[in-house]
Amino acid sequence: MAGLAAAITAANQGLDVVLAEKAEKFGGITARSGGWLWIPNSSLARNQSVQDDPDAVRTYISSECGERFDRGKLDVYLARAPEALDYFLKNTALELDLAPAYPDYHAEAVGASLGGRAMSTRPFSGLELGKDIERLAPPLPELMVFGMMLGSGKEIWHFLRAFKSFESFCVVVGRVASTAADVVRYGRSMRLTNGNALVARLLKSARDKNVALWHSAPLHRLVVEDARVVGAVVEREGVATTVRARRGVVLACGGFSHDIERRKALFVHAPTGREHFSPTSNTNTGDGQRMAVAVGAKFDADLAQPAAWVPTSVVRRKDGSTGIMPHFIDRAKPGVIAVSPKGRRFVNEANSYHDFVQAMISECRGEPETYAWLVGDHLALRTYGLGCAAAFPMPLSPHLKSGYLKRGRTLAELAQAIGVDRTVLQSEVARFNADAKVGSDTAFGKGSAIYNRFMGDPRHRPNPCLRALTKPPFYAVKLLPGDVGTFAGLETNEHGQVLDEAGAAIPGLYSAGNDAASIFRGTYPGPGITLGPALTFGYLAGLHLSGRNN
């Protein structure tokens, strides 16, 4: 995303641009993402009369970041992100919809918003890409249903309610039929949604602006002359070629999610770097950060958390490969709890994915493995699904057979299946059930926060996140720590220029996206807090390269 944003801006400003992508297809993590952007005070919000206040945002982000708060960086973001957004809305195929009711993740905090800062990407037709559709990275298979990546929360909701509401049934039948027609005609669904639509829209725009799009072209190292980055060594068709850059090089290699050495150094739960399960694209191996550090860049790891955490489960796909499922939604639903390896509840399950994994890591500190069990009763499983074990009418047997989904006719049986003390599990569930009946989780407050309730089931009363687990059989899925991207990264300035250890800009070198350290300093305040900055700092780098904005 950040690379496309920089490339499109620079090309739109009149520069000749090469975008070199290591993978065979373009899109990286962004193509697998939800495609949400967090941009306060945008024109989209103003057009819908949604009021926001930069001071409120400052107050919120400063309380999220504590002593690590970087007011300078945030102010650049607040001033320039709406401008970047408007630039893309005007000059490219990007189209977004404001989400007036999607709250910040800690919406009770002073300055947080109940909605209007997050926006989602509008679906896009793959036909608009022409042959480039073959070069678009696919969505995460674990987040697809019948070959479709579901779009908005509303669409997911229709799928969950397909057999409960006639309207939802019709929506689902329509979507399935149009996907089937696409598959027959084009071999895949042409209705692109979420992050896949975001990349497709930008890919089309990059092509329209004559950006040279090189796939299977990894950057190996930077070329420096007289203390200035003047190009890079890029592999093309197996041959290392020096590409000279008159203006500069933007590193946007998507961070270090699959850099085992960096994980080992920064992830406390992953002493060998391998006790971590990332659904991000595996080409994101920290290359950009290593190349920058090799020419004197500063790597900033002094953040609250080194990565954007998400609980995951590991699933065997039909073709025998391994899939990693991020758990964004199921944890918050009624009839679902999470327990530690000892069978105890340890967290408000409906909190954000970033917060959930931090609790998991502290609960398992000192233990040989960091994990938890997501537990639900039959009603919860068939209504909402647990990870890859989807809601009714999808079959459970493949997941039971593979061991992905554990089952017990009673809680005692389930406890045995997952290796926890049955009396502990029974008493945890009994306590939760008693609380659920009155709608208030006295142990961890599940369903007490605005964000919790947003992720729950609005039809369920009195608390959209709480229902007693009473309908056997009982099920569990093992949760492991993973990330949706990394936060630690290169130190950059307001133009996206990479800084050296002394804080000076390295001439000719820029970075944006997850290669750069997160402006939110390792915290996760709301939906879209990586793609918003990726667009903005990609844009700022592109402008600066073109000589504007100096």
542 is a site residue for ligand FAD (CB under 6 A): no
Q: Is 151 a residue that touches ligand FAD (CB under 6 A)?
A: no
Query: Whose Cβ is closer to ligand FAD: residue 116's or residue 341's?
Result: 116
Is residue 45 a contact point for ligand FAD (CB under 6 A)? Answer: no
CB 95 within 8 A of CB 121: yes
Q: Which is nearer to ligand FAD, 456 or 485 (CB)?
A: 485
Beta strands in 148-266 (DSSP E): 148-149, 191-192, 212-214, 219-225, 228-236, 239-244, 249-251
Stretch binding ligand FAD (CB under 6 A), from 30-38, 65-73, 378-386, 403-411 = 30-38
* Residues 318-347 close enough to bind ligand FAD by CB under 6 A: 326
**Min. distance of Cβ 39 from ligand FAD in angstroms?**
10
- Which amino acid is it at 227? A
Task: Name which of 111 and 482 has its Cβ closer to ligand FAD.
Answer: 482
Cα–Cα distances in angstroms (integers) from residue 160 to residues 333, 390, 393, in the given order: 12, 9, 10
Q: How far is the CB of 98 from ligand FAD (least distance, A)?
A: 14
131, two tokens = 């042959």
**Cβ–Cβ contacts within 10 Å for residue 403, how many?**
10
33 makes contact with ligand FAD (CB under 6 A): yes
Nearer to ligand FAD among residue 194 and residue 348 (C-beta): 194
Cis peptide before 525 (omega within 30 of 0): no
Interaxial angle between packed helices 54-65 and 71-91, expressed in degrees from 0 to 180 and rounded to the nearest 10? 130
**If you search the block for the tokens 């057979």, which residue do you land on?**
401
Q: What is the C-alpha to C-alpha distance for residues 545 and 394, in angstroms, rounded to an integer? A: 51
Q: Is 35 in the site for ligand FAD (CB under 6 A)?
A: yes
d(CA 457, CA 160): 11
Q: Is residue 489 part of the contact set for ligand FAD (CB under 6 A)?
A: no
**Which of these ranges, 18-26, 79-87, 359-367, 405-413, lies near ligand FAD under the rule CB under 6 A?**
18-26
The minimum distance between CB 119 and ligand FAD, in angstroms, equals 10
Is 253 among the residues that bind ligand FAD (CB under 6 A)?
A: yes
What φ, ψ does residue 84 adopt, rounded to 5°?
-60, -45
Q: Does residue 510 contact residue 352 with C-beta atoms inside 8 Å?
A: no
Q: Is 21 in the site for ligand FAD (CB under 6 A)?
A: yes
In the numeric block, which tokens belong to residue 508? 């000719």
Site for ligand FAD contains 536 (CB under 6 A): no
Binding site for ligand FAD (CB under 6 A): 1-3, 20-23, 28-30, 32-36, 140, 195, 218-219, 252-255, 279-281, 283-284, 287, 326, 484-485, 513-514, 528-531, 534
